[in-house]
Amino acid sequence: MRDTIFCVFSVLTTLVLAIVSLRYVTDFYLLSFFFSFQLHLAAAAALASLAALFVKRHWYGLLTLGTSLALAVHGIVMTREFAQPAVDDNRPVLFRLMSFNIENDNFANGAAIADMAIASGADVINILEAEPVLSELPRLLKTYPYYVGCGIGMQECDTLVLSKRPLIEPRIRSLGLLWRNRLTISTVDFDGHKVNFLTAHLTKPYYDEFYGLELEDLAAIAPTLPGPLVLAGDFNSSILTPGVQDLLRKQGFATVSVEPATWPIAASAFGIPIDHVFARAPLRLKSVRRIADSYGSNHFGLMAEFTIDP
Predicted TM-score (pTM) of the model is 0.93
Per-range mean pLDDT, top range of 54-58, 121-125, 149-153, 264-268: 121-125
Statement: residue 147 has pLDDT above 70 = yes
| DSSP H or E run through 286 | strand 283-290
Q: Kindly report which listed range (47-61, 68-82, 89-103, 245-259) carries the lowest average pLDDT score.
A: 47-61
pLDDT tier at 85, thresholds 50, 70, 90? confident
3-state class of 274 per DSSP?
coil
pLDDT score recorded for residue 26: 83
How far is residue 253's CA from residue 233's CA, in Å, rounded to a whole number?
A: 14
210 against 101, higher pLDDT? 101
At 124 the pLDDT is 98
Q: What's the chain's average pLDDT?
A: 92
pLDDT of residue 9: 80
**Structural domains in the chain plus CATH codes:** 1-81 (no CATH), 95-308 (3.60.10.10)
Parallel, antiparallel, or unpaired: how do β-strands 95-101 and 124-128 relate? Answer: parallel
Residue 287: how many CB atoms within 10 A of its CB? Answer: 16
Rounded-to-integer distance, Cα 167 and Cα 2, Å: 67
For the beta sheet containing 124-128, the strands, ordered from the edge strand earlier in sequence to the opposite edge, are: 146-148, 159-163, 124-128, 95-101, 302-308, 283-290
pLDDT, mean of residues 261-265? 95
How does pLDDT run across 19-66, given as a tens digit for each residue? 999 999 888 777 888 999 999 999 999 999 999 889 888 889 899 999
Answer yes or no: is pLDDT of 198 > 90: yes
What is the structure's pLDDT at 207?
Answer: 77
Q: What is the mean pLDDT of residues 245-265?
A: 94
Residue 97: per-residue pLDDT: 98
Does residue 144 surpass a pLDDT of 90?
yes
pLDDT, average across residues 151-179: 85
The predicted structure's pLDDT at residue 153: 60
Residue 152 pLDDT more than 80? no
Q: What is the pLDDT of residue 55?
A: 87
For residue 175, give the nearest of 166, 184, 167 by alpha carbon: 184
Using pLDDT thresholds of 50, 70 and 90, give the confidence band for residue 155. Answer: low
